[in-house]
Amino acid sequence: MDKGPIILKEKPLIGISSCCFGCAVRYNGRSMDMVKGIGREKGDFRWVPVCPENAAGLGVPRDPIHLVGENGRSVWHQDGRVVSRGGKDVTDALKAGALESLATLARANIKVFIYMDGSPSCGVYRTTLKKQNRGKPPGIFGALLDEAGYFLIPALDLQSPIKWWDWRRRMLAFLWLQAVPLTTRAELYDVWYRLKFLCQELDNPWAREQGRYLASLTGPLDPEIATNFRRQVSDLLRRPSTLKRITGSLWKNYCHHRKVTGRPVADINEPTALRNITAIARELIVMERESAKEGILFGTSPVLYSGRS
């Protein structure tokens, strides 16, 4: 069995809040090109920008809107509303725009969405940029994305090389996991072998326990076990790591690579070496390239895209 990295051949599709993609769709006619932060990697993906407020027909420019009620979820449960600054109730239009945007993502079979936090529509952890007491997160579209199980990435994290790297490697692993067959124990063990190092970095006690549990399985694979495994690992992959854990994992997996090849890789540093996050992200990318070139699993980032810049 090949135990090298998983190489995705097709460009992954990513949905994104249009205003983060440079489309001038905000209420004031402005936009932000947040994808610029990932440089040439932008070309490694296909992008599907959506804007629920424009799909709602609110137009540009428009009055800013805010949530009235507990949060975006409560709008879907009939006890919340969306109101414009001028006092107009735009709840029904916003619901239609959010559903239309979700349908666009579903049509393209998209599983990942980069959202503009702080928006009463697309926000997931904030629904206002200023400290206004106007509805709590998630926003009306953010609530739909969350409920539908999307892999959600805050656009702000595209501005940090290390945060983006962390999101990107977990996202590729997540996408692969959604599609890989899990009908036999052999398939289950193979998937676990590829993902366990990353899972250990994200939650070591859980991963150790999971490893013991999988080793205790016998006989044909119960489909419910496979479903639970996919769900639990998917949930874990949504959780960001920390710089300390990333550098520790980089070094550990680099040492494994060096042992297998018998050769060092230039410019890979020990976890205690002082360097900035851009340098650390560069080392991680170097190891991903080495992994792809040598066909040796770099457990820190087990799923790669073949067209990587």
Q: Which residues bind ligand SF4 (CB under 6 A)?
A: 17-19, 25-26, 51-53, 116, 119, 121-122
Token pair, residue 82, equals 């969306």
Provide, rounded to whole angstroms, the least separation between the CB of residue 249 and ligand SF4: 34
Provide, rounded to whole angstroms, the least separation between the CB of residue 79 and ligand SF4: 22
Three-state DSSP class for residue 112: strand
CB 70 within 8 A of CB 80: yes
Provide, rounded to whole angstroms, the least separation between the CB of residue 89 and ligand SF4: 17
Provide, rounded to whole angstroms, the least separation between the CB of residue 11 and ligand SF4: 22
Provide, rounded to whole angstroms, the least separation between the CB of residue 130 and ligand SF4: 15
> Between 116 and 304, whose beta carbon lies closer to ligand SF4?
116
Provide, rounded to whole angstroms, the least separation between the CB of residue 92 and ligand SF4: 16
Tell me the C-alpha distance between 66 and 296, whole Å.
50
> Between 6 and 48, whose beta carbon lies closer to ligand SF4?
48
> Between 19 and 195, whose beta carbon lies closer to ligand SF4?
19
> Between 148 and 273, whose beta carbon lies closer to ligand SF4?
148
> Between 31 and 200, whose beta carbon lies closer to ligand SF4?
31
Token pair, residue 190, equals 């193979």
Tell me the C-alpha distance between 142 and 126, whole Å.
10
DSSP H or E stretch at residue 187: helix 185-202
Identity at 212, one-letter amino acid code: R
Long-range contacts of 62-66 (CB under 8 A, 24+ apart): 62/27, 63/27, 63/88, 64/27, 65/27, 65/90, 65/94, 65/120, 65/121, 66/120, 66/127, 66/128, 66/132, 66/134, 66/135
> Between 121 and 300, whose beta carbon lies closer to ligand SF4?
121
> Between 119 and 300, whose beta carbon lies closer to ligand SF4?
119
Nearest to 280 by CA among 160, 125, 190: 160
Provide, rounded to whole angstroms, the least separation between the CB of residue 19 and ligand SF4: 3
> How do beta strands 65-68 and 81-84 pair?
antiparallel
> Between 24 and 106, whose beta carbon lies closer to ligand SF4?
24
Provide, rounded to whole angstroms, the least separation between the CB of residue 46 and ligand SF4: 18
> Between 84 and 234, whose beta carbon lies closer to ligand SF4?
84
CB 306 within 8 A of CB 10: no
Provide, rounded to whole angstroms, the least separation between the CB of residue 129 and ligand SF4: 10
Tell me the C-alpha distance between 176 and 170, whole Å.
10
Identity at 201, one-letter amino acid code: E
Please tell me the number of Cα atoms within 13 Å of 90 on its side-chain side: 26
The residues, any chain, with a CB within 8 Å of residue 272's CB and separated by 6 or more, are none
